[in-house]
């Protein structure tokens, strides 16, 4: 008779107690203190401990599960990455960028006076949102809001690059609106006052005032103009450079403030006769000579023009008027003609935060229409000014209309 295939209890294999499966990621060990330490292999091959110990083994294992998931998502960041000091990283941040001369001076000044004293010795990873909020509040109690806004925006840009460089996980600068300077509204004055200013300045500076107002040029763009940039027969002006004062009485040629600063501007026909007179009497005679020069020749410097401007603005009863306000007056007039946003941006040389508008340019025909409207406003203001001042000889000499 065949033996039964069923094994007897004596024949059954002995089973060892069920062993717990070995962890597939990381290790946990109990320390002499009784707490538990978790360690894990980073994607860079370095074995690292958790930044803290745990009261229970289960807590340590839970931390390892989360760390493994972080690595699998691609969110892992080396704990040593953000250990560079803010001062060192910020200095490198500026050195690595191609900046305008004045922009670099501004950034280095903001770092030296406002950011490095607060964050210089701190590691990037140790700068938290609360630190930034506290710093901003303290700065606002000491300096103006506009300066603090610029410093905050620089800090935000530097820390944003640190995020892109994978040195820190997130940008600690998260205060809504903190980077927007609260710039006071520039004063807008009647056009008759512009005529008075033209009359008040020496004859060699009349064209400077007229172009600053009616061509929407910045100071650096004006003093950087050369004869080859003007086409008075066609009523056009090309902005392709600027002159920058770098201190110590020195100046340097520079590009416009932004890419949009390179532009062609239509000149109101009514001021062209005055420009022709200026070119004949005061501009450098070379083909590529400077349009505006100082009394003794050479580039016209803002520092040298300041006394003349102060005398003129006090003389017309506008002691707080800045030369740059002339550009604001012209821009306001251009906007009042019904010009579109794109047309105004093109004429003024402004860039927009919207990439779609950066390379948009107004049509030349429409720009000429804006110039004609500006010229008519100038004519009306001059006529009103003449009536009020009984038509002085000097006022009639400014511009002779065809």
User: What residues are labeled active site?
Assistant: 218, 324, 327, 350, 359
Structure tokens at 228: 């080859």
N residues, the chain: 402
- Using DSSP, state whether 290 is helix, strand or coil: strand
Structure tokens at 16: 């060892």
CA distance 199 to 136: 46
CA-closest candidate to residue 352, choices 243, 216, 258: 258
Query: What is the residue whose two structure tokens read 């009863």?
Result: 317
CA-closest candidate to residue 133, choices 103, 155, 107, 102: 155
CA-closest candidate to residue 234, choices 259, 269, 284: 269
Structure tokens at 351: 């860039």
CA distance 100 to 256: 9
Range 192-228 burial, b when 16+ CB lie within 10 A, else e: bbbbbbbbbbebbbbbbbbbbbbbbbbbbbbbbbbee
């Amino acid at each position: 008779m065949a033996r039964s295939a069923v094994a007897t209890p004596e024949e059954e294999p002995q089973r060892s107690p069920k062993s717990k499966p070995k962890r597939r990621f990381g290790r946990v060990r109990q320390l002499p203190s009784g707490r538990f330490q978790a360690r894990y292999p980073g994607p860079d091959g370095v074995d690292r401990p958790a930044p803290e110990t745990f009261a229970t083994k289960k807590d340590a294992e839970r931390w390892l599960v989360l760390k493994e998931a972080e690595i699998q998502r691609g969110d892992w960041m080396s704990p040593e990455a953000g250990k560079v000091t803010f001062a060192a990283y910020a200095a490198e941040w500026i050195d690595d960028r191609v900046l305008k001369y004045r922009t670099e001076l501004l950034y280095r000044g903001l770092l030296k006076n406002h950011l490095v004293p607060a964050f210089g010795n701190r590691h990037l990873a140790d700068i938290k949102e609360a630190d930034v909020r506290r710093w901003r509040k303290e700065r606002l109690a000491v300096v103006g809001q506009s300066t603090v806004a610029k410093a905050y925006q620089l800090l935000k840009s530097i820390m944003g690059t640190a995020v892109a460089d994978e040195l820190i996980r997130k940008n600690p600068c998260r205060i809504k609106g903190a980077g927007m300077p609260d710039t006071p509204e520039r004063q807008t004055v009647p056009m008759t006052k512009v005529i008075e200013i033209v009359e008040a300045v020496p004859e060699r500076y009349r064209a400077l005032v007229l172009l600053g107002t009616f061509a929407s040029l910045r100071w650096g763009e004006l003093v950087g103009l050369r004869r080859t940039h003007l086409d008075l027969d066609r009523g056009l002006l090309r902005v392709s450079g600027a002159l920058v004062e770098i201190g110590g009485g020195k100046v340097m040629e520079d590009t416009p403030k932004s890419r949009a600063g390179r532009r062609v501007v239509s000149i109101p026909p009514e001021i062209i006769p005055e420009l022709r007179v200026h070119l004949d009497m005061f501009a450098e005679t070379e083909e590529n000579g400077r349009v505006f020069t100082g009394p003794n020749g050479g580039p016209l410097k803002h520092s040298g023009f300041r006394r003349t401007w102060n005398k003129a603005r006090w003389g017309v009863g506008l002691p707080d008027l800045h030369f740059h306000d002339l550009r604001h007056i012209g821009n306001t007039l251009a906007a009042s003609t019904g010009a579109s946003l794109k047309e105004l941006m093109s004429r003024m040389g402004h860039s927009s935060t919207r990439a779609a508008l950066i390379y948009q340019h107004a049509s030349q025909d429409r720009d000429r229409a804006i110039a004609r409207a500006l010229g008519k406003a100038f004519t009306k203001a001059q006529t009103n000014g003449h009536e009020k001042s009984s038509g002085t000889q000097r006022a009639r000499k400014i511009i002779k209309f065809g």
